Structure 1
Amino acid sequence: MKKILLPTDFSDQATYALKVAASLAKQNDATIYLMHMLELPTHFLSGDTNLDVPEQLLFMKIAHERFEKTLEQDFLKDIKIEVNVETHKAFDGITEAIRQYDIDLVVMGSSGASGLKEMFIGSNTEKVVRTSDVPVLVIKNDIENFNIENFVFASDFTNDQKLVFEQALDFANSFNATLHLLFVNTPNRFVTTAAAEKKMKDFIADFDELTKYELHVYNDDTIERGILNFSRTIDADLIGMSTHGRQGLAHFFNGSISEDLVNHALRPVITFRI
């Protein structure tokens, strides 16, 4: 993990995420790519050559002044940081930056979304979680010391999850964390405990580097509630799972458990795209 992308709107949540990114950067000798999507009026982005250039420069000046204040914070001392101000729409700019800088991990702050906003609009964080080809770590709260001891990885433990699990395992091992492998049983997707445990044991059989782990089968009304409730019982430091990147009508009707978790979990959530 050598390149960490941190999109910021200079909010409190973005600062919480930056603290976590700084901790990861120190641990891995990584560079943080700190990026702000400049919210210019629509006519600035139209390509019109008759724009008021001084007004455009003022927006840029304000953004750079906010960056200067951000970089003065003590927790960023001795960390390699690349600062960039872009005029893309936020989501487009983030996806482009992932490709351009060959990013290993995206860290984003989020205040979550609910109700109609969650269903019809969604947040940029939710969109990035859905589409990013690299892991996305979402932070909601101020974490003084980002140290992962208990990492919940929720899955159905099918073969298509194995590449995702390799990434989760690498992340857990970088902290020497205990990986809690979680299978959530629901009324409409019920299997016996014995069958679930066998499925999990078969799944991990080829992962020799998996040494600190526990297997859990948890019953709840929904998968999302099961993940959240189980994570609370063990006071998990991090929740991880895969996302299928559903879009369009498939996403609208089927939803995405990972995106629901990003919106509703107070704990850090990391997603890995299949």
Structure 2
Amino acid sequence: MKKILVPVDFSKHSEYALEAASKIAKQHKAKIVLLHMIGISDSVLANSEIAEEAEAKYFLKLAKDKINEFTKKKYLEGIPVDSIIQNYKDFEEVNQVALEQNCDMIVMGSHGTSGLKELFVGSNTEKVVRSSELPVIVIKAGSSGFDVKRMVMACDLEKEAIPVYRKAEAFAQLNNASLEMVYVHSAGANFMGRDDVVERMENFKKELGKEIDIHFYDDNSVERGILRYCFERNADLLVIPTHGRKGLDHFVVGSLAENVSNHAKIPVMTIKI
């Protein structure tokens, strides 16, 4: 790991993410790239070129000053830090910036959402999780305790999740952390009998080419079951695959990875299948 992208809006949540990223960076001797989106409105951009240039310079200087103040953290000492400032368009563009900067991971904070706001608006974190081709770690609370010793990966045991497991396993090894798998058994359209689940577990291990422990957990909801299992196991980091659904498919079907990352209290790492 060489570069970690951290989107920041100077809130306490993005500071939590920055501190968590600093710990990862120190472990891997990596560089941190800060991304701040200014968010100049269309009304400003519609002004004359002279007014637009003056306004842009003002916001740019303001952002630079904030970044300089924001990065005066003791935990950043010894870590190379670059910063990128661009006008806000859509948080799905974070993926493009990460790829252009040859980053290996995105770490960002999240306020979380609930109710009608979540249904109709969603969150910026969800947009990044949905669109990112890189692993994304979502931080919800103060990262002073971001010390990954026990990781849990939750998935449906389909073969397509095997590359995700390998990436999670590599991250666990780099952090000297344990990694365990869980399958949440829940009634619904995709309900399977226990024997069928056991068969799928064996097929997953066979395809993986190694023996691993896969835990079976019953709950009325897959999302709730994942969160409860992590709580009971005192997990430090949850890993969950994502398909990165977009458009109408995303609106109708939803994404388990986005929902879990939005509601979990512990850090969540999403990895695109």
Contact 1:37 1:93 in 2 (8 A): no
TM-score for the superposition, normalised by structure 1: 0.92
TM-score after normalising by structure 2:
0.93
% identity of equivalent residues = 37
Q: Which blocks of at least 5 consecutive residues in structure 2 are unaligned?
A: none
Corresponding residue of 1:217: 216
Q: 1:257 to 1:35 in 2, by over 3 A?
A: same
Q: Which residue of 2 aligns with 1:120?
A: 120
Paired with 2:55 and 2:48, the residues of 1 have a C-alpha distance of 14
Partner of 1:42: 42
Q: CA RMSD in A?
A: 1.9
Shift of 1:141: 0.3
Shift of 1:135: 0.5
Cα distance per residue 1:123-155 (max 9 Å; x no partner): 111011011111110000002142212111001
Q: CA deviation at 1:90?
A: 4.5
Q: What does residue 152 of structure 1 align with? A: 152
Residue 260 of structure 1 is matched in structure 2 by: 259
Number of equivalenced pairs:
272
The one-character-per-residue Cα deviations of 1:175-194 (angstroms, maximum 9, x if unpaired) are 12221201010122443445
CA distance in 2, matches of 1:46, 1:214: 59
- Stretch of structure 1 that moved more, 193-202 or 216-225: 193-202
Aligned partners of 1:268 and 1:131: how far apart in 2?
Answer: 19
Task: Find the aligned partners of 1:47 and 1:197 in 2 and give their Cα distance.
Answer: 64
Q: Does 1:99 find its partner at 2:103?
A: no
Q: How far apart in 2 are the matches of 1:245 and 1:73? A: 34
- Structure 1 gap segments, 5+ residues each: none
- Detail structure 1 runs of 4+ shifted over 6 Å in the superposition: none
Aligned-residue offset at 1:96:
2.4
Which stretch shows the higher mean deviation, 145-154 or 47-56?
Answer: 47-56
C-alpha contact (below 8 Å) 1:95/1:128 kept by paired residues? yes
- For residues 20-68 of structure 1, give each alpha carbon's deviation from its aligned partner in whole angstroms, at most 9, with x where no partner exists: 1000000011111111001212234459524343332221111111111
2:155 pairs with 1:182: no
Task: Give distance in 2, aligned partners of 1:199 and 1:143.
Answer: 36
Instruction: Check the 8 A contact 1:2/1:104 in 2, yes or no.
Output: yes
